[in-house]
C-alpha cells in the first residue's frame, strides 16, 4: 500500500501525531510529528509507504525504532539512524513493522545561528543529522517516553536558543512573512525587487536571506507554495478551483507546472479532477 500526500488525507491525519507550534518559534518550526502505526501493521504486515511531494524547509528525522528506507527523487537510502531531509524533493518512506519515527518539520533550522551552514548544498539526498543536532539532545529525545513529552522538551530547548539570538531574527522574520503573505494573498509572481523594496533592503540581500533560510531563491520558494496550495484546493473542491486564482496565465500553464510537481506515477490520481475542470471550462 502506498499513501500519497493530498490524496490519502485520512492516513496522514489519523496515523501521525502532529503538534503545530505558536509564537516566535513558529518562525522556524511548522510542527512536530510522530508515527502511530500500531493498528496499521495488522492491515499491512509486510509494510507500506508514505509519499510526499516537494515542499519548503527541512525535516529532522529521529529514528526511535527499526531501520527504514527513504527514497529522495529516484534514489533510495537505507536508514538505521537519524537523518536530515531537505524537503524540496519528492520523497517516499518505506515503513516496516517496528518503525517509529519522530520528526521536526522546520521552516528554517535555528542551527543557522550557531554554525555556518549553506543549506543550498543540501539537496537531492538524506544526510546524517549528527552535524546539525547535538548528540545529547538526540539521546534525550529517544529516551523520552511519549510524543507529548518530546514536544515539551524540544519547545523548551528551541525557545531557549531563540532567546540567546533575539537580535538575529530579522532575516528569518522577513523570509517567513513573505511566504505567509504569498499564500494568504494568492500572490506568487511578485519579483524579488518588489519584495526587497517592501522591506527596504537590496534584492541581492533578500536573495541571500532566502538561500540562508530556505536553501533556495525567492522565485522557486514561491512556486513551490503556489503549486502545493493549488493541488490541495483542486482535490478538496475541484468545482470551485480556477487556475487564475493562483496567478496562472491559463489552464495549460497550470497543467505544465502540475506535471513538473507531481511524481510521474501519481499524476493519475489527480487526473479525474483535471478532467472535471476541463468539462467545467467548456460550459
262 CB burial (10 A radius; 0-12, 13-18, 19+): buried
pLDDT reading at 255 higher than 90:
no
What per-residue confidence (pLDDT) applies to 279?
Answer: 58
Closest CA to 263 of 93, 86, 73, 1: 73
pLDDT > 60? residue 280? no
CATH for 2-166 is 2.60.120.10
Tell me the chain's radius of gyration from C-alpha atoms: 20
Q: What is the C-alpha to C-alpha distance for residues 188 and 124, in angstroms, rounded to an integer?
A: 24
For residue 281, name the pLDDT band (cuts at 50, 70, 90).
low
Q: Cβ neighbours of residue 166 under 8 Å, at least 6 residues apart?
A: none
Domain boundaries, the chain: 2-166, 169-283
Confidence category of residue 273, pLDDT binned at 50, 70, 90: low
Confidence at residue 151, expressed as pLDDT on a 0 to 100 scale: 97
Average pLDDT over residues 108-114: 74
What's the pLDDT tens digit per position in 39-60? 999 999 999 999 999 998 899 9
The least confident of 133-142, 196-205, 261-270 is 261-270
Locate 260 and state its grid cell: 513538473
Give the alpha-carbon dihedral of 62, 113, 72, 79, to 10 degrees. Answer: -30
Question: What is the SS3 string spanning the chain?
Answer: CEEECCCCHHHHHHCEEEEECCHHHHHCEEEEEEECCCCHHHHCCCCEEEEECCCCCEEEEEECCCCEEEEECCEEEEECCCEEEECCCCEEEEECCCCCEEEEEECCCHHHHCCCCCHHHCCCCCEECCCCCCHHHHHHHHHCCCHHHHHHHHHHHHHHHHHHCHHHCHHHHHHHHHHHHHHHHCCCCCCHHHHHHHCCCCHHHHHHHHHHHHCCCHHHHHHHHHHHHHHHHHHHCHHHCCHHHHCCCCHHHHHHHHHHHCCHHHHHHCHHHHHHHHHHHHC
CB 270 within 8 A of CB 234: yes
pLDDT at 122 over 80: no
Which pLDDT tens digit goes with each residue over 138-197?
A: 999 999 999 999 999 999 999 988 888 777 778 888 998 999 899 888 889 899 999 999
**Assigned C-alpha cell, 48:** 507500506
Decide if 144 contacts 67 (C-beta within 8 A).
no
pLDDT digits (tens, 9 = 90+) for 62-73: 999 999 999 998
Question: CB 144: neighbour CB atoms within 10 A?
Answer: 17
Instruction: Please tell me the distance from the alpha carbon of residue 135 to that of residue 116, in angstroms, as a whole number.
Output: 19
8 Å CB contact between 180 and 188: no
CATH class of residue range 169-283: mainly alpha
Amino acid at each position: 500500500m502506498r499513501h500519497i500526500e493530498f490524496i490519502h488525507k485520512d492516513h496522514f491525519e489519523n496515523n501521525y501525531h502532529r503538534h503545530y507550534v505558536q509564537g516566535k518559534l513558529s518562525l522556524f518550526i511548522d510542527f512536530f510529528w510522530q508515527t502511530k502505526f500500531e493498528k496499521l501493521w495488522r492491515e499491512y504486515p509486510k509494510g507500506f509507504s508514505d509519499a510526499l511531494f516537494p515542499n519548503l524547509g527541512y525535516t529532522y528525522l529521529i529514528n526511535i525504532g527499526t531501520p527504514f528506507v527513504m527514497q529522495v527523487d529516484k534514489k533510495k537510502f537505507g536508514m538505521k539512524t537519524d537523518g536530515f531531509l531537505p524537503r524540496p524533493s519528492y520523497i517516499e518512506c518505506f515503513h516496516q513493522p517496528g518503525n517509529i519515527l519522530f520528526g521536526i518539520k522546520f521552516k528554517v533550522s535555528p542551527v543557522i545561528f550557531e554554525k555556518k551552514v549553506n543549506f543550498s548544498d543540501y539537496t537531492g539526498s538524506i544526510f546524517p543529522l549528527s552535524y546539525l543536532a547535538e548528540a545529547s539532545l538526540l539521546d534525550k529525545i529517544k529516551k523520552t517516553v511519549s510524543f507529548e513529552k518530546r514536544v515539551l522538551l524540544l519547545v523548551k530547548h528551541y525557545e531557549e536558543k531563540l532567546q540567546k539570538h533575539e537580535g538575529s531574527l530579522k532575516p528569518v522574520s522577513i523570509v517567513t512573512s513573505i511566504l505567509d503573505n504569498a499564500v494568504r494573498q494568492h500572490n506568487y509572481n511578485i519579483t524579488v525587487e518588489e519584495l526587497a523594496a517592501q522591506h527596504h533592503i537590496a534584492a541581492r540581500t533578500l536573495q541571500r536571506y532566502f538561500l540562508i533560510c530556505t536553501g533556495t531563491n525567492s522565485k522557486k520558494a514561491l512556486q513551490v507554495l503556489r503549486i502545493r496550495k493549488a493541488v490541495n484546493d483542486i482535490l478538496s473542491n475541484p468545482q470551485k478551483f480556477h487556475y487564475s486564482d493562483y496567478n496562472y496565465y491559463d489552464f495549460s500553464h497550470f497543467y505544465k507546472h502540475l506535471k513538473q510537481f507531481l511524481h510521474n506515477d501519481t499524476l493519475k490520481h489527480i487526473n479525474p479532477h483535471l478532467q472535471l475542470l476541463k468539462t467545467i471550462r467548456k460550459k
